[in-house]
Amino acid sequence: MAKNLVIVESPAKARTIARFLGKDYEVESSFGHVRDLPKKGLNIDIEDSFKPKYEVSADKKKVVSSLKKAAKNKEVWLASDEDREGEAIAWHLTKALGLDTDKTKRIVFHEITKPAIENAIKNPRTIDEKLVDAQQARRILDRLVGYELSPVLWKKIQGGLSAGRVQSVAVRLIVDREREIKDFDTKSAFKITATFIDKEQEFNGELTRQIELYGDAKSWLEEVENASYTVTNVSSKPSIKNPSPPFITSSLQQEASRRLGYSVRQTMTLAQRLYENGDITYMRTDSTIMSELALKAAAEYIYKEYGQKYAKTRQYKTKQASAQEAHEAIRPTDFKKTSISGDKQQNNLYKLIWQRTLASQMASAESKRTEVKIEISTKKEDHFIVKGEVLLFDGFTKVYGTTNEDSILPSLKDGQKLNCIKVIATETFSRPPARYSEASLVRKLEDLGIGRPSTYAPTISTIQTRGYVEKTNLEGSERQVRIIDIKDKKLTEHTDTVITGADKGKLLPTPVAELTTDFLVKYFARIVDYKFTAKVEEDFDDIAEGKESWDEMLKRFYDFFHPLVEKTEDIKRSEVAKARKLGDDPVTGEPVFARLGRFGPLVQRGDAEDKTKKPAFAPLPANTTLDSVTLEQALTMLALPREVGKTSDGKLITANFGRFGPYIKVEKQFISIKPLDPLTITEKEARDKYNEQQKKVAERNIQEFDSGIKVLNGPYGPYVTDGKKNARLAKRIDPKRITESEAKELLAKKS
């Protein structure tokens, strides 16, 4: 019988560790946290130094009971992850299982390999209370913010909203960026390029300046219509490109997005599996350091596979001064393993980690960069610049690849005359700042010092599920571009149509996000202040290092935060809603507004304070916002519901927008018509939708008895129901032949 019990967070991790330990060790999983603050209520005693009231989660009571039995008469080893979250899991286990924290052994490791596990067993420690305090401070502070601030948003803005210390700042970043884009003043200018040829090889040069006005660009081209071109300077210099450091959590999320198209959450889920299977080191880290054993193993592999000239051992300095979530970068546990046994997505991520780590220990790529200056005979004050690059030694790019293609130039000499094929002046437009993607938002949060590796994925997921942000593909819009060119000494002018603004996977704020951000900036400025949020992270670091008491840090925060919450009681919802008057309805004379309602943005006809007549409401038209919708568009929506026609048996069909999208109504039936538009749906389209629905209803209703009991066809097969209880039918029972008494008997057996 085993003498030792090792407890980890996940079954996958338990299975991997069990392979490396002998028969004296039993390995069990806690399935994550076993204790937490209850979901309902604050459960923090503010008067008693913010003491939390934890409880064993309902779904973990069986787990705790099982672990208690397993721990009886055994030495317990807590092997949860090495970060603050893992330390808190271990501490909660001691409380839930009734273990002595001074005697219970705590082991940590960066990778799940036999040497790492054996080394951890040889060097146990006790639970680090300072790390637990830091995690506890984060948990309690976030509960305080969420519990006190979220109800304020429900009352003043919209039900179902939530506020969070990191999530509200992330939303503000996205809202601020969208406003930068809206306020951006686009300016046009003309970029002038020329194509030259030498010894049948074509190459391009660019004028060193742009010309703002169309007329000036045309005049410039007219002046060079008969110009000759001479090489006046050729300069070449060596260039060295160094590899990037091995991955930390944020850089892995960004590169997996760029190269593989993975979302932040997807990347972290896959990385978790790789870690638990023993393929990579711990994936929540902000340290770029690699162990001496790993550096040696990487060097040996590179020597063997690529040769000595490709190897260059490097130890990268971690950028973040507070990096202490783990002590090593994300890397493979075995460099000889070029692929793993997981699915395609896991393999792709593993390969990316393998390549990045190996490349970080390889020699720099070397190239020769050449720059050529070309004189224009008729425009002595201007000249073209031609740039080229030749790769001399691929170095780390042999493994990691490169996005830069070599631009090889012919051998050019000073004084050499060149033949110019064409000169083109193309209208270009200045671009606003780019919208955030998930990956670039992670990068921005990291740059600002907001959040930690473990918080980025859940934060980005939360702001989307809460309706603050939509991840969308932008189709772009058409734009006319003016072009002037000279070819065969002949000047021509024309326009081209290009698509601008198209993009994939961008985060766009919803009207709720803008309203919430404005409210928080006005009444809770410090909570959504970038520097203040980063300072809170530093406070957590100080607690982890024993420089500050966690309850004192919370008191300092709460003493300024809670009075802000109390002050919001006097704020009227109408002050927050920011209703925008669009004009008056020419028929009724009533005012028309665009504003945010309980379930999202809408248009309203009539005054809510006018007790004699109830206002009319309608959703915003497609592709409009509260700021852009016009009176005409609003009136079109307010004219709904629209009579579309009749069914084949003469029932009236009307179309409208509802809380859950566009629909048609026939008598008391509401039928979704997505993606059709209630304003344009034809009678035939509406009839088809209605007939489809009737067919589904007929297929679903198998039998109906006088008692009200029905036999229905559900997504998992036929079942009987009385409207309150459901009972599935066994495969041997024919749903068309079951009797009423048999149906009642089945329902009676259901609790």
Cβ neighbour number for residue 700 with a 10 Å cutoff: 12
Known active-site residue 436: no
Residues 347 and 234 in one domain: no
pLDDT attached to residue 320 = 58
pLDDT tens digits along 71-83:
998 999 999 988 8
Task: Work out the average pLDDT over 5-24.
Answer: 90
Residue with tokens 């260059």: 312
Show the tokens assigned to 671. Answer: 């039928």
pLDDT tens digits along 489-503:
889 999 999 988 888
Q: Which domain holds residue 270?
A: 249-363
Which residues neighbour 12 within 8 Å (Cβ) at sequence distance 6 or greater?
273, 276, 277
Task: Work out the average pLDDT over 327-355.
Answer: 93
Residues 557 and 588 in one domain: no
Residue with tokens 């960004």: 254
* pLDDT, averaged across the chain: 90
pLDDT tens digits along 656-674:
988 778 899 999 889 999 8
> Where residue 624 falls among pLDDT bands split at 50, 70, 90?
confident
pLDDT attached to residue 374 = 97
On whether residue 563 sits in a domain, the answer given is yes
Q: What are the φ/ψ torsions at residue 75 (nearest 5 degrees)?
A: -80, 125
Residues 119 and 85 in one domain: yes
Q: What is the percent of the chain with per-residue pLDDT over 90, rounded to a whole number?
A: 64
> Where residue 531 falls among pLDDT bands split at 50, 70, 90?
very high
Helix, strand and coil in the chain, % to nearest 5: 35, 25, 35
Asked if 132 and 87 touch (Cβ cutoff 8 Å), the reply is: yes
Query: Angle 255-257-259 (CA atoms, 0-180°, nearest 5)?
Result: 65
Residues 48 and 151 in one domain: no
Residues 355 and 292 in one domain: yes
Residues 445 and 546 in one domain: yes
pTM above 0.95, yes or no: no
Measured between alpha carbons, how far is 584 from 592 in angstroms, rounded to an integer? 6
pLDDT attached to residue 572 = 80
Which residues neighbour 213 within 8 Å (Cβ) at sequence distance 6 or greater?
none
Question: Helices 84-97 & 129-156, crossing angle to 10 degrees?
Answer: 100
pLDDT attached to residue 405 = 61
Task: Work out the average pLDDT over 709-720.
Answer: 88
Task: Work out the average pLDDT over 712-737.
Answer: 88
pLDDT attached to residue 382 = 95
Asked if 275 and 112 touch (Cβ cutoff 8 Å), the reply is: yes
Residues 689 and 709 in one domain: no
Task: Work out the average pLDDT over 105-113.
Answer: 91
Q: What is the DSSP letter of 125?
A: B
pLDDT attached to residue 323 = 47
Q: What is the percent of the chain with per-residue pLDDT over 70, rounded to a whole number?
A: 98
Residues 588 and 672 in one domain: no
On whether residue 434 sits in a domain, the answer given is no
Residue 557, pLDDT above cutoff 90: yes
> Where residue 231 falls among pLDDT bands split at 50, 70, 90?
very high
Query: Angle 436-456-359 (CA atoms, 0-180°, nearest 5)?
Result: 85
Whether a cis peptide bond, with omega within 30° of 0, leads into 678 is no
Residues 649 and 671 in one domain: yes
Residues 359 and 396 in one domain: no
Show the tokens assigned to 582. Answer: 């669009």
pLDDT tens digits along 398-411:
999 876 666 788 88
pLDDT attached to residue 430 = 94
> Where residue 325 falls among pLDDT bands split at 50, 70, 90?
very low
Selecting among 25, 54, 229, 282, the annotated active-site residue is: 282
Cβ neighbour number for residue 291 with a 10 Å cutoff: 17
Burial bucket for residue 144 (CB in 10 Å: 0-12, 13-18, 19+): buried
On whether residue 483 sits in a domain, the answer given is no
Show the tokens assigned to 739. Answer: 């009797």
Task: Work out the average pLDDT over 551-564.
Answer: 94
The CATH number of the domain holding residue 35 is 3.40.50.140
pLDDT attached to residue 367 = 93
pLDDT attached to residue 401 = 86
> Where residue 698 falls among pLDDT bands split at 50, 70, 90?
confident
pLDDT tens digits along 129-170:
999 999 999 999 999 999 999 999 888 888 888 888 899 999
pLDDT attached to residue 619 = 84
pLDDT attached to residue 402 = 76
Query: Angle 172-453-315 (CA atoms, 0-180°, nearest 5)?
Result: 125
pLDDT attached to residue 230 = 96
The CATH number of the domain holding residue 192 is 2.70.20.10
Measured between alpha carbons, how far is 680 from 686 in angstroms, rounded to an integer? 10
Task: Work out the average pLDDT over 259-270.
Answer: 93
Q: Which of 549, 568, 587 is the last residue of a domain?
A: 568
- Closest residue by Cα to residue 322 from 171, 134, 137: 134
pLDDT tens digits along 172-202:
999 999 999 989 999 999 999 999 999 889 9
Query: Angle 327-330-333 (CA atoms, 0-180°, nearest 5)?
Result: 100
Number of domains the chain contains: 7
pLDDT attached to residue 707 = 86
> Where residue 614 falls among pLDDT bands split at 50, 70, 90?
confident
Residues 547 and 591 in one domain: no
Residues 18 and 116 in one domain: yes
> Where residue 88 falls among pLDDT bands split at 50, 70, 90?
very high
Q: What is the 3-state secondary structure (H, E, C) of 542-586?
A: HHHCCCCCHHHHHHHHHHHHHHHHHHHHHCCHHHHHCCEEEEECC
3-state SS assignment for residue 334: coil
Burial bucket for residue 73 (CB in 10 Å: 0-12, 13-18, 19+): exposed
Residue 326, pLDDT above cutoff 60: no
On whether residue 486 sits in a domain, the answer given is no
Measured between alpha carbons, how far is 192 from 208 in angstroms, rounded to an integer? 9
Measured between alpha carbons, how far is 661 from 316 in angstroms, rounded to an integer? 53
On whether residue 109 sits in a domain, the answer given is yes
pLDDT attached to residue 1 = 65
On whether residue 502 sits in a domain, the answer given is no
Q: Which of 127, 152, 168 is the last residue of a domain?
A: 127
On whether residue 158 sits in a domain, the answer given is yes
The CATH number of the domain holding residue 293 is 1.10.290.10
pLDDT tens digits along 381-393:
999 999 999 889 9
Q: What are the φ/ψ torsions at residue 693 (nearest 5 degrees)?
A: -65, -40
On whether residue 726 sits in a domain, the answer given is yes
pLDDT attached to residue 573 = 75
